[in-house]
Structure 1
Amino acid sequence: MKRPVVVKALGSVAALVLAAGCAPGGASSGSAEERPRTPPSASASVSGTAAAPPAAAGRVTVAGTLTEGLESPWGLAELPGGDLLVSSRDERTVTRIDGRTGAKTPLGEVPGVVPAGEGGLLGLAVRDGWVYAYLTASSDNRIVRMRYGGGAGDRLGPPEPVLTGIPKGFTHNGGRIAFGPDGMLYAGTGDTGLAQDRESLGGKVLRMTPEGKPAPGNPFPGSPVYSYGHRNVQGIAWDADGRLWAAEFGQNTWDELNLVGAGRNYGWPEAEGRAGKEGFTDPVAQWPTSEASPSGIAYARGAIWMAGLRGERLWRIPLSGAERSGEPEAFLEGEYGRLRTVLATGGDRLWLVTSETDTRGTPGPGDDRILRLRAE
């Protein structure tokens, strides 16, 4: 499928119908990324106890293409000064992208990465002269960090382990990492059948110090586990009030956007989507898996922006405090194929990474690419 590269303003909106859904079941070897699934009869659904009040409609303008010709891009991080680092899941490399011209500078291959299925070199984060990476190794998923000076000709230093022992699988590897407003490092992991086991790092949102120690104030003493009962978290972001949000792949029924709280249980595999079960925290919003299959998320202009893989669209979820302030809206539907990562870079600016070369897309000329967006 050929993807357009011209600058264009797009604002098609998908209306969503309030509904509730629950699909009990155990862990599965399938995933939203790898196999087709049968959506529920409703065309779309957003969870909630009552209809959200109206909110002003959003708009996204594609202001241009920063760079193209990327292979299996996954993680994206911004350097001081505005340049970007992008990881290649399957090539095991990190590339620096000039934030103005889009020029690409290879920084090298990360040792120890073993790509297979949904695993490989995944999320990136930058802090204090370190580049952090979430990767799939031969025995586990892990977080490492590498020194990087950021100057012309600099290369990544050797990886140092930050956290090891995150369960791996052919699917369900999670992989998103980001530093929160509290200075702690957060990570979303895949369940591999262990989402309800609080002794396991699988199916969790993790919170740790930059050195990989359990963060002070975590709900389970001595553990990096911050929340549990997740199926496959690939998107994490904080709103203007410092609240943590996470996007999560469903199995056969509902994908989720969750407001994450310390020690909360998000239900998987006992619940998928809104279940209304005691002891479980329901999602703030949910979608049929055919319309989302969410990966990266970002917060900008009063809303969460969520990239959809199978859904091939960018969702906007307007927020008011800890609640939605209106119905989610869909943009760019089918225009650029699978969407992997969205990164806020200040004000109304977003970066959006496509994911057509990850073996599940239909690459066209120029794929994959990083797009410049303006959000309203």
Structure 2
Amino acid sequence: MALVTARARRRWAFLALLTVGAATGCDSGDGGEPSAPAPSRPVATSAAASAPTGEPDLGAAQEVAQGLDVPWGLAFLPDGDALVAERDTGRVLRLTPGGGTARPVYEVPGVAAGGEGGLLGLAVSPGFAQDNLVYAYLTTERDNRIVRFRLDGGTPEVVFDGIAKAGFHNGGRIAFGPDGMLYAGTGDAGQTQLSQDPESPSGKILRLTPDGAPAPGNPTAGSPVYSLGHRNVQGLAWDSSGRMFATEFGQNELDEVNRIEPGRNYGWPRVEGEGDTDGGRYTNPLVTWPTREASPSGMAIAGGTAYVAALRGERLWTIPLDGDRLGEPAARFEGDYGRLRTVQVAPDGALWVTTSNTDGRGDVRDGDDRILRFPAR
């Protein structure tokens, strides 16, 4: 009963934030008003075999965890176990597919959860077998920052800090790219001018070394900025050719998927969605949706398809990869599981998807929040 009460308090607090935002001209960021309840789809509880080279079977959902508190970050260890970040508790959980309940393995100190902030993205070091390092993006009392820590304990090391924080638009997705560098999607923290300021890390995609320094080969030497003109990036993914894509929240009209190239300016706040490029100064998105259909958070690519988790849209978007362009998006699971936050491809090729119905904006269903697994065939 205490858990339900706490979640109810969080929802009403979030609705109060939204009311304040509306009064000041601020949109609802990654949310929108709570939707009407829908029945949950029955899911299996076992972890079926999965083929690393297959396509995820979206008709074979398996529930691998439930009862989580706003799962946000999701990353995989070399042995196939998953690490899950709970936004509001600051806990990192470890989950073995088919191996029972998720178990806490670390609690990140200094997390200041509130609004859209808290413990957000996770990334596992490419050299985990040797260094045992996990990276996390979190909101503190002063800023958003990236830290790293060892699962066997110890104090986290700050890798990069000074990213603006707010109740909304904190960004938060981190991932190691094919080049071994650490990429981070940040938000404008409601200060739209920061997105066009090359000296600010906010409203950007950053490219860092594993130690947090500006990566060699960045567009501007000595700067961590890889691309700019972003509003709130929460999805990063690469295809088999090494091309980078990112999801981005729009304000009132259009959400986006962008092909990310070094040094490009993606237009915010001067352009939302597709618009005037000012003679090539700004880069238009490849895909847009009305905000009510998306609020896109996590993104993953498996084979020839990109998968985008939608929060307000309460669906999973599938997008065919078509050379340098993206094909026509198709929606799956509309309303079946509620708000979808994160999507990742596991080492065995299975697609994992997290719900986000306990974040104060969704309708909590029995078992929420949960993680679903779709084995590759």
**TM-score class, shorter:** 0.7 to 0.9
Matched, 1:356 2:354: no
Where does 1:195-206 land on structure 2 (aligned, <5 Å)? 195-206=195-206
CA contact (8 A) 2:30 2:296 kept: no
CA contact (8 A) 2:31 2:295 kept: no
2:77 aligns to what?
79
Shift of 1:375: 6.0
2:186 aligns to what?
189
2:68 aligns to what?
70
Aligned pair partner of 1:164 in 156, 161, 164: 161
Larger displacement relative to structure 2 (263-272 or 190-199): 190-199
Shift of 1:296: 0.3
Aligned pair partner of 2:314 in 312, 315, 318: 312
Shift of 1:221: 1.4
CA distance in 1, matches of 2:150, 2:349: 31
Aligned pair partner of 1:179 in 176, 180, 185: 176
Given the two structures, how large is their TM-score scaled by the length of structure 2? 0.83
CA contact (8 A) 2:68 2:369 kept: yes
1:107 aligns to what?
105
CA distance in 2, matches of 1:303, 1:179: 20
**Amino acid aligned to 2:30:** E
CA contact (8 A) 1:315 1:329 kept: yes
**Amino acid aligned to 2:317:** W
**Amino acid aligned to 1:241:** S
* Matched residue SS, 1:77: strand
2:223 aligns to what?
223
CA distance in 2, matches of 1:105, 1:61: 28
**Amino acid aligned to 1:319:** L
User: Deviation string for 1:263-282 (max 9, x for gaps)?
Assistant: 00000000000003221100
Shift of 1:121: 0.3
2:45 aligns to what?
none
CA contact (8 A) 2:175 2:236 kept: yes
CA contact (8 A) 1:166 1:201 kept: yes
Q: 1:28 to 1:220 in 2, by over 3 A?
A: farther
**Amino acid aligned to 1:131:** V
CA contact (8 A) 1:300 1:375 kept: no
**Which ranges of structure 1 fall in alignment gaps of 5 or more residues?**
1-26, 38-56, 149-153
CA distance in 2, matches of 1:351, 1:303: 15
* Matched residue SS, 2:362: coil
**Which ranges of structure 2 fall in alignment gaps of 5 or more residues?**
1-23, 35-54
Where does 1:271-286 land on structure 2 (aligned, <5 Å)? 271-278=271-278, 279-286=281-288
CA distance in 2, matches of 1:297, 1:28: 28
CA contact (8 A) 1:32 1:289 kept: no
CA distance in 2, matches of 1:329, 1:59: 15
User: Deviation string for 1:181-220 (max 9, x for gaps)?
Assistant: 0000000000132100010011000000000000000001
2:300 aligns to what?
298
Shift of 1:283: 0.3
Q: 1:327 to 1:102 in 2, by over 3 A?
A: farther
Matched, 1:131 2:134: yes
Matched, 1:340 2:341: yes
**Amino acid aligned to 2:66:** E
**Amino acid aligned to 1:82:** G
* Matched residue SS, 2:292: helix
Shift of 1:28: 6.2
Matched, 1:91 2:92: no
1:19 aligns to what?
none
User: Deviation string for 1:79-122 (max 9, x for gaps)?
Assistant: 11111110110011111111232422111321111111000000
1:252 aligns to what?
252
* Matched residue SS, 1:327: coil
CA contact (8 A) 1:58 1:316 kept: no
Given the two structures, how large is their TM-score scaled by the length of structure 1? 0.83
Shift of 1:289: 0.3
**Amino acid aligned to 1:357:** T
**Amino acid aligned to 2:150:** R
Shift of 1:347: 6.3
**Amino acid aligned to 2:235:** G
Shift of 1:170: 0.8
Shift of 1:29: 3.3
Tell me the percent identity.
Answer: 57
